[in-house]
Structure 1
Amino acid sequence: MSELMMPIPFRELMGHMTSEYQTQGTCFGIHRPFVAGVKKLPIFGETIETPFGPAAGPNTQLAQNIIASYFTGARFFELKTVQKMDGADLAACINRPCIVAEDECYNCEWSTELYVTQAFEEYVKGWCACKMMAKVYGLGDPNGFVFNMSVGYDLEGIKGEKIDTFLNGMIDASETPIFQECIAVLKDMFPQESAFIDTITPKVSGSVTVSTLHGCPPDEIERIASYLLSEKGLHTFVKCNPTILGYETARSVLDGMGYDYIAFDDHHFNEDLQWCDAVPMFHRLQALADSNALEFGLKLSNTFPVDVKAGELPSEEMYMAGKSLYPLTTTMAARFAREFEGKLRLSYAGGADFFNIDKIFACNIWPITMATTELKPGGYQRFSQIGDKLDTMEFKPFTGVHVTAIEALCLAARTDEYHVKDIKPLSNRKLTSKVPLLDCYTAPCKGGCPIGQDIPEYIELCRKGLYVEALEVIAEKNPLPFITGTICAHHCMDKCTRNFYDNSVQIRETKLVAAERGFDGYMVNLVQPKSISDGRKVAVIGGGPTGMAASYFVARAGIPVTLFEQEATLGGIVRHVIPDFRIGAEAIEKDVSALKKLGVDIRTNTVAPAITDLKAQGYSHIFMAVGAWKAGKLDIAGNVLPVIQWLKGLKQGINPELGHVAVVGGGNTAMDAARVALRFGAKSSTLVYRRTKKYMPADVEELELAIADGVQFLELVSPVAQENGQLLCKKMALGEVDASGRRSVVETDEIVSIPCDTVISAVGEKVDDAVFTANGIAMDKRGRAEFKCNVDGVYAGGDAMRGPATVVEGIADATWFAAAVIGSMYETKIPAAAVTSKEDIFSKKGVLASSAKCEGDRCLACNVVCQNCVDVCPNRANVAIELPDGRTQILHVDRMCNECGNCAIFCPYASSPYRDKFTLFMTMDGFEESTNNQGFLPLDGNKVLVRLDGKVFEADLRGNNDLPKDIEVFILTVMNRYGYLLG
């Protein structure tokens, strides 16, 4: 597939826009238009209805990008930079993919990838289209938006014929063929609007933002800006790089906010514009602008150059933007505001988004442009919420930046929850499976759950107040809603699409709400089935969560099951080890009650008989679900207690004198132990770990709770001995990333110590293999059994198979055991009320931090509508196609794609939609050049050229052909209902 985009002719562009709006109610895949109010702000002798829009970048390169931005509320457009190197020459310099916007954003592309003449035409087309859209769709004043050019990177190039022609055309396009074509097309398509069309001004832009390469000398910057002001008569902004802050400031700010992994040295800081040169220069340029009755200001800020260290992009250097640029840019703004006493106009672009745009605007800093936020799920639709937010604020002409306000915002930015980096790196948000060619909508939360819990469905039922039904949906796959609703590791939340908006839907919390509110009705409806007497009889050994779940699933099928537990109560480590402040016995008992209602024969205080004895008693299937009770070995001298036994003893009333406590380990159990120590009177509680917090295996939530409770952390150490009230440790250093994805550690000769009377060893708990070996069950070298053991009819799950496992992993193993007993997987029943309507889903798209009354109002129901790849494509190259049967498929449009790779970041699958989805080609060259394995090219008549499963063939859509039915319907739907995509 070529990375070169093919601009859409204006007539075709308008036909696409109007046909889609009439037939689908959308505009380039966007569902909700923004209708401007009556407020306006003056700028450059023009007016804008909203003071924001897309920054120069991927979202202002093509006419359809500009149209999409306008449709959703943008009214200030910083057009993508043009320079003397363009088209194929520039595209050849850009490595692909070139954008990573998963959290903060990185890119390795900078100027328009079109030829400058094409870029000019795109901007004129966008200008005319927005004028017409404003009028015919009633979106606002057709004269209520502004186009701002961006040019670079040297005066010679800007004065050259290519860029000079561009500037002159943008200043007045009246004599250009493209403007005349646009006007003619509009009159032909909208004859009733002929009088209005005659009023569309050819003066597309009277302002410019100067973009300079890093290392550009200050005198060159001044010459460029002076030329644009004096010779071209353009209102002028100059982009400033964050390097003007100095290396130490930038490094300190980013490190203090958790961005210490972002790598850069000081060479750009030394080579770029210096503060001492910038201030007098900008005073001179302001005076020059005043003398020419033009506006002058600074664009804060340009992107920030950093090193590629983790393979983020296929380049050596990349440019950082988004949330991590926000504290640097506000710091720049505060310094310039103070230096110029607020009199210098500041245009803002540096991590602006819904969460902070009102704060920036309140400082009287505008226009505000954004690039990163619209590259995330929700895409352009995010602008609508931003427009609504700003519409509630006072609009008044620029009279000066509020100096004290921006200084306060600069400091607040460094602790802002949406901009400070999480303690630990992002979890992997991708599923392991590849995207299907068809029917790809999936809820990543469900895919990230070991039991495939039907999460969007039960959340929707909770939203509707149907708690009994919600709990019944949960219990179809998860018989322990109180335990999992309280302490589940909830990795489903790591996958949640809302992480790209604000934070995850609180899935675990919603499960507990369903359990608590639906429990009584659920228990009434839960009926013991008629017992099956066909010789199947099950013994479950171990009454922890894994054994409880297995017993429930088997009993639900009517197969007799006996659960053996050597303790007095069920619950395993969850009941007997995990502290009461995390989960109480009452919650566990509610899960136990469901087992009793189904008739499980529960035998507590009972050591299970030997396997041979169980078989002699008629048990056909035996499930080993014993927990990891055996302590791992911390081989150091001193007062060392194993964590499981110590926590269990505390729950039994054994409370030894603790003194100063050190907990060795970094998992959730270690966090529990460290918190418990403080509650049981320890003078101090320190968690000791050989890596840093970032690489601890504990859940982020558990780590944060430990910090909040006052647990201290001693990082990068390896314990040596506990003696004389001290814990001696060897200092460690971080090395390279190892196979686990964590940094390896390197021992040093330095010794450190902390006060310590008691060491709690929370490392390497395992299952006691004695019960297995005594019964002839084989264990691997790690002391774990296979799911289907070497002894006929015996199975293992949970800790016994995995080592220390999460509760939900144990439930997953119980599911597979039950399927082995029953002979098939259980078929889940989902009520119709559990399905979210598409209208509700689209109303949530692009809405951040909503005033939701419940989590169901935040859930995006990705199982019904995903479309992340559609949302995040700047060029609208991924299109949702609705088939006649109501299903929606994703079509990739080859000519609109430049292989930026953004859709690959946000697709929940381990896939790249721009390569892996069914592709529409417009030319034979594109078809033959593409590496996409699946797609079609329309030919003359009713024939198409298809590439499918590695085969290329012609298909006659009116006759017999070799197309699979669904693919044939897909192609026919595109050609018949979405003809505007075909050109």
Structure 2
Amino acid sequence: MSDIMRPIPFRDLLDWVLTEYKKNRSIFGVRKVVQRDEEKRFPIFGQTIETVYGPAAGPNTQLAQNLIAAYAGGSSWFELKTVQKMDGRELAKCVPKPCIEMRDEGYNCEWSTELTVEEALHEYIKAWFIIHIIAKEFDLGDPDGIVFNMSVGYDLDGIRQPKVNHFIDTMIDASKDEVFQDCVETSLEAVRSKRLHHVTIRDIRRIPSRISDSVTESTLHGCPPAEIEAIASYMLKTKKLNTFVKCNPTLLGYEYARRTLDGLGFDYIAFDDHHFTTDLQWKDAVPMLERLQGEADELGLSFGVKLTNTFPVDVKAHELPSEEMYMSGRALFPLTIELVRRLSEQFNGKLRISYCGGADYFNIHDLVSAGVWPVTVASTILKPGGYERLSQFYEVLSDIPGKAFTKVDVSAVTKLEKRALESGRYSKPVKPLPSMKVEDSLPLMNCFLAPCTTSCPIHQDIPAYLQAMEEGRPYDAFRIIVEKNALPFITGTLCPHTCADRCMRNHYEEGLHIREVKLQAAESAYDTYMSEPKRPAPKASGKKAAVIGAGPAGLASAFFLSRAGVETVVFEKRPEAGGIVKYAIPHFRIEDRKIEKDVKLCQRFGARIITGKEITDLEQLKKDGFTDFVLATGAWKGSAPVLKEGKSMDALDFLTAVKYGQDSLNLGKDVVVIGGGNTAMDVARAAVRQRGVRTVRLVYRRTKRYMPADEEELRMALEDGVIFEELLAPVSLKDGTLVCSVMKLGEPDESGRRRPVDTGEKKLLPADTVITAVGERIDAALYEKLSVKLDEKGRPVVDEQLQTSRPHIYAVGDGRRGPATVVKAIADAARCAQAIAGAHFDRYEEENAAGDEATLLRKKGQLTAELSQQPDPRCLGCATVCEVCTDVCPNRANIAIKVPGLKMDQILHMDGMCNECGNCAVFCPYSGRPYKDKLTLFWSKEDMDSSENQGFLVLKGTNVRLRFAGTVQEVDVAEKSDLYEPLRKFILEVIQHHSYLLAPGAGEHAEL
């Protein structure tokens, strides 16, 4: 049953760790295993830890394997997942699934362990034991250099109940626990059988039975101050435990939280003030903390606060299947660090603070340097890279000497809080990134793909040319680029780079600078490429193509057709080739020299361009021997009228006038641009630069968040001083005043954007000139003259090969789509050329590897603050090494396995280790759910029957019970059969070489 986690017996856990490390030098998939500096010590609670960070109470501290994986990544402080009186299936039924959403700021709707309290206890004991063993066996550090910190809740009555009380007492002394005793005996057996080579019997006997002597008190929102204090006092006085009290960010007050999140662009996060009024208040918190500190001092124990709990917010956009969820991660950091500042200032830095609230690679050094530690993390290691991110913490903290806590540096925290508000790192972009998923469903096998390539209209081999540039081979990169891209200079400058929007690095820092690397390759290698002898093209028998229009689509058509051996002539009615890029895109966006280089590139294979010649019919061209015709006439017709009264200037007329006759323009002081797309941004930015213009306003009926313009275009317009007048719909222009209806946002429409609703109010704007940029249209005159069938929007109807209703007449680019991107025009041109000449433009695909696997794996989990490097070296090579579902699973339930004879690693899903948190589905680049769609290994018939996943249960030897393609059958995978051969090989590889994955206690792997 997929959402039930089956704890793995200690014997099997130990075997898994020892076998995997010997085989792969990894531990539960963590390849960057940290060897600690044993000279560095951070004293805490009468013990020492070798590093000051680790996983926070949550998904990453629920199972033994989670804790072991975190230790492999360098963690020494482990805040165990919260236990309470409600547990096991009773609690699991209360947690909606999926329960985690970590795309940017994090959300979750789970709160404490889904195991029983007893199972949780035993998971922690097993992890404690194995960490001590591998520290010595693999030389990872001092076995005693770790601390397990309990987390308990949520009220004193529940904590005093026998099962929670037993949990606490056994964590304090586990010597009489049967699982602890089993760990001892099994480990001793492993030593005697030489399974362990560096661990001695004495080492095993010395593993402490005192698992924990500290606790973090975690209470629910709304817990009364007296109850919070009573629990903490109980832990100090009765249990003699070093104690942290977890505080909520609601201590900051509703107004501060709302104002801060709004100012950082998180205004869409919905919450009201009820938690702020019912949670612990500042006036109650300060004296309570003072009293508890006094109690701890009298008892010789440590006391502090844990900052902070997650932040309760409302579910508004179906993020999770619940009504309320808890926010964490990037958006929580500015709130938490402000609470650190306030409490540190209040207590003169003497109050110890355990930190969690958006801690990550970018701020952990500042936190620890300021005396704020230990630091625990959750959101960052639930993102791609997962536990591998922890090793980088070790690296970034390497210059901080080991020492005991003295006090928090209030001035350093104040500076950090100020940077959090001003640096931009914790700000939401004006527009959210579009979905990073491709439309394809997730296949059972062979699923690695590069979302950048898949989302690119021309399927540019992006990882390959990025790799070539990184290795200093610009000519090879350029050759790869121009195989599919006829306009590398134009796309290297103007492309909206949807590839970067879907780049996996967005989940690290930001998308790769793909467009910039393309331009760098073009600038570096163009002259060499153009000077070399042309590759002879096979003549396309009997073909002669006329291309009407020398804009991006027409130029690209000429490039591909002539390369395919078709005699090609382009006819352009304007004096120069380049189309809308040449005549309407402002000079500050693209220089003429770049356009001219692309024009020459498109002529390289013999295409001719005849300018100053307008084609109004095809009869003469047919007489001249042309057999095929490509209509690439663009979308030059002006926008439809917007104003009910008054005149406005058309966007293209304005941009053309600006580019080639700006001295004649007299726009006045106040200019208003109507529209929210990229063209509107160009118009507004061009208007700002005109003589005499004082103010440029851009009017749009929705907010910036819902504008169709790219984030980059919006940002540049804002930087140029354009004023955005949101939620206004223009009505009329009269006597220098634009009358607008004031709108508000209603429910989402079919596109997902919230509908603008008229409020009935009006707003007046000064306007000497109004320019309309709400979408250019296609001039259908030529189509109509040629009797080409049009759709209801006046666009030519085409088939899959872009042929119109008239044979041998094709339509490409904006002239068939309406206003679109240059790269989509190139895609049309390539498809059209393929239809006419039967050519394919993927000659280099097989040789375009993105780099060797080992190099790419080293990049996993490695974030960087340096984003200006060119060429950009951050590519993860997703088509070669994806494995993102293995990264982000806190329970290690998705495993990448090499299968002999198969090109890529295969993903195996472990049913017994999965609680259907859904995190792998969030980050999988496909429109699928790995925990449902990948081949699943079951540990029991009961679990298999309770699941619908395609998968298998090992019966005996190589015999399996298999559910595949809608049927359940018993198969011997050692024998060839009608079974899909790659699937057979996959299952056989698991059985023969990964037996430690099989059902706990089954097979020879259980014999230590």
Query: 2:939 matched to 1:922?
Result: yes
Percent identity for Structure 1 against Structure 2: 50
Q: 2:51 — aligned with what?
A: 50
Which aligned pairs between 1:82-121 and structure 2 lie closer than 5 A?
82-121=83-122
Map residues 569-608 of structure 1 onto 2, 5 A cutoff.
569-608=576-615
Question: Which position in structure 2 is the counterpart of 1:808?
Answer: 823
User: For 1:652, what is the secondary structure of its paired residue?
Assistant: helix
1:938 has 2:947 as partner: no
CA offset digits 1:475-532 (Å, max 9, x no partner): 1111110010000010001000000000111000000011010112221346163562
Using the TM superposition, give the Cα deviation of residue 67 of structure 1 relative to its aligned residue in structure 2, in angstroms: 0.6
Aligned residue for 1:33? 33
- Cα distance in structure 2, aligned partners of 1:393 and 1:738: 53
In structure 1, give the amino acid aligned to 2:936.
T
CA contact under 8 A between 1:461 and 1:834: conserved in structure 2? no
CA–CA separation in structure 1 for the residues paired with 2:474 and 2:75: 41
Select between 883-892 and 55-64 the one with higher mean Cα deviation: 883-892
The corresponding residue for 1:650 is: 658
**Cα contact 2:616–2:782 (8 A) shared by 1:** no
Q: Which one of the candidate residues 885, 889, 898 is aligned to 1:869?
A: 885
* 2:705 alignment partner in structure 1: 694
Match of 1:257 in 2: 264
- 2:817 aligned with 1:799: no
Distance in 1, matches of 2:104 and 2:647, equals 44
Name which of 625, 629, 638 aligns with 1:618: 625
C-alpha distance 752-526 of structure 1, shift in aligned 2 (>3 A): farther
- Give, in angstroms, the shift of residue 339 of structure 1: 1.5
Matches within 5 A, 1:353-368: 353-368=360-375
Please report the RMSD computed on the Cα atoms of aligned residues, expressed in angstroms.
Answer: 1.4
Any conservation in 1 of the 2:672–2:698 contact (CA below 8 Å)? yes
Q: Does 1:313 align with 2:330?
A: no
C-alpha distance in 1 between matches for 2:766 and 2:462 = 47
Indicate the residue corresponding to 1:145 in structure 2.
Answer: 146
Q: Which of structure 1's runs of 4+ aligned residues deviate more than 6 A?
A: none
| Partner residue of 1:969 out of 985, 990, 995 | 985
Q: Which stretch shows the higher mean deviation, 45-54 or 884-893?
A: 884-893
Code of the residue aligned with 1:912 in structure 2: it is R
Instruction: Name the residue aligned to 2:1003.
Output: none
Q: Does 1:826 align with 2:841?
A: yes
Q: How far apart are the structure 2 equivalents of 1:951 and 1:762?
A: 57
Query: Which amino acid counterpart does residue 837 of structure 1 have in structure 2?
Result: D
Q: Deviations over 1:532-579 (max 9, x none)?
A: 262222111111111111111111111111111111111110111000
Alignment of 1:536-685 (within 5 A): 536-636=543-643, 637-654=645-662, 655-659=664-668, 660-681=670-691, 682-685=693-696
Q: Which residues in structure 2 correspond to 1:385-404 (within 5 Å)?
A: 385-404=392-411
Q: Which amino acid aligns with 1:665?
A: G
Alpha-carbon distance in structure 1 between the residues aligned to 2:983 and 2:960: 12
Stretch moving more, 616-625 or 678-687: 616-625
* Cα separation, 1, equivalents of 2:178 and 2:895: 31
C-alpha deviations, 1:364-396, integer Å up to 9, x for none? Answer: 111110100000000000011111111112333
Superposed CA deviations along residues 417-469 of structure 1, whole A, max 9, x for unmatched, are 22111111221111111112111110010111011110000000011111111
Which whole-Å CA distance do the structure 2 matches of 1:251 and 1:126 have between them? 41
Deviations 1:305-347 (A, max 9, x none): 1111110001111111101111111111111112112111111
Distance 1:533 1:946 in 2: 52
User: Structure 2 unaligned runs (5+)?
Assistant: 1001-1008
- Range with bigger deviation, 474-483 or 673-682: 673-682
Q: Write the letter of the residue equivalent to 1:825.
A: H
Aligned to 2:754: 743
- 2:908 is paired with a residue whose SS is strand
Q: Distance in 2 between matches of 1:322 and 1:833?
A: 37
The equivalent of 2:1006 in structure 1 is none
For the Cα contact (< 8 Å) 1:57–1:81, is it kept in 2?
yes
Which residue number corresponds to residue 1005 of structure 2? none
Report the Cα distance in structure 1 between the residues aligned to 2:268 and 2:648, rounded to whole angstroms: 35
Q: Secondary structure of 2:70's match?
A: helix
For the Cα contact (< 8 Å) 1:531–1:560, is it kept in 2? no
Structure 1 letter corresponding to 2:817: R
**SS of corresponding position for 2:359:** coil
Are 1:780 and 2:791 matched, yes or no?
Answer: yes
Whole-angstrom CA distance in 2 between matches of 1:597 and 1:99: 53
Q: Does 1:857 align with 2:865?
A: no
Q: TM-score, normalised by structure 1?
A: 0.98
- Contact 2:737–2:766 (CA<8 Å) still a contact in 1? yes
Deviations 1:241-278 (A, max 9, x none): 11111111111111111111111111111111111111
Conserved in 2, the CA contact under 8 Å of 1:850 and 1:858? no
> What code does the residue aligned with 1:784 have?
R
Partner residue of 1:721 out of 714, 732, 742? 732
Cα distance, 1:603–1:528 mapped onto 2, change above 3 Å: farther
Counterpart of 1:161?
162
Give, in whole Å, the separation in 2 of the partners of 1:856 and 1:228.
Answer: 52
- The aligned residue for residue 464 of structure 2 is 457
* Runs of 5+ unmatched residues, structure 1: none
**TM value normalised by structure 2:** 0.96
The C-alpha deviation readout for 1:170-209, integer Å capped at 9, x for no partner, is 0011111111111111122133521211111111100000
- Please give the residue correspondences for 1:761-780 in structure 2 after superposition, counting only pairs within 5 Å: 761-780=772-791
Aligned equivalents of 1:717, 1:839: Cα separation in 2:
54
Counterpart-to-counterpart distance in 2, 1:936 and 1:205: 39
Segment drifting more, 486-495 vs 636-645? 636-645
Task: Single out whichever of 172-181 and 405-414 deviates more from structure 2.
Answer: 405-414
Q: In structure 2, the residue corresponding to 1:180 is in which secondary structure?
A: helix
| Bigger shift: residues 874-883 or 430-439 | 430-439
Distance 1:326 1:715, change over 3 A: same
CA contact (8 A) 2:460 2:485 kept: yes
Q: Deviations over 1:571-620 (max 9, x none)?
A: 11011100011111110111111222210021111112513443343322
Q: SS in structure 2 opposite 1:653? A: helix
Paired with 1:872 and 1:567, the residues of 2 have a C-alpha distance of 55
CA distance in 2, matches of 1:858, 1:102: 19
Alignment-derived partner of residue 903 in structure 1: 920
- Find the aligned partners of 2:812 and 2:748 in 1 and give their Cα distance: 31
Distance apart, 1:724 and its partner CA: 2.3
Other-structure match for 1:484: 491
Closer, same or farther: CA 761–208 of 1 in aligned 2, 3 Å: same
CA contact (8 A) 2:952 2:962 kept: yes
Which amino acid in 1 is paired with 2:975?
G
Once the two structures are overlaid, the 10-residue window that deviates more, 60-69 or 387-396, is 387-396
Local SS of the residue matching 2:397:
helix
Instruction: Give, in angstroms, the shift of residue 832 of structure 1.
Output: 4.1
**CA distance in 2: counterparts of 1:730 and 1:595, whole angstroms:** 48
**C-alpha displacement of 1:833:** 7.0
Q: Give the aligned residue type for 1:678.
A: V
Supply the distance in 2 between the matched residues of 1:768 and 1:258 (Cα, whole angstroms).
41
Structure 1 contact 555–600 (Cα < 8 Å) conserved: yes
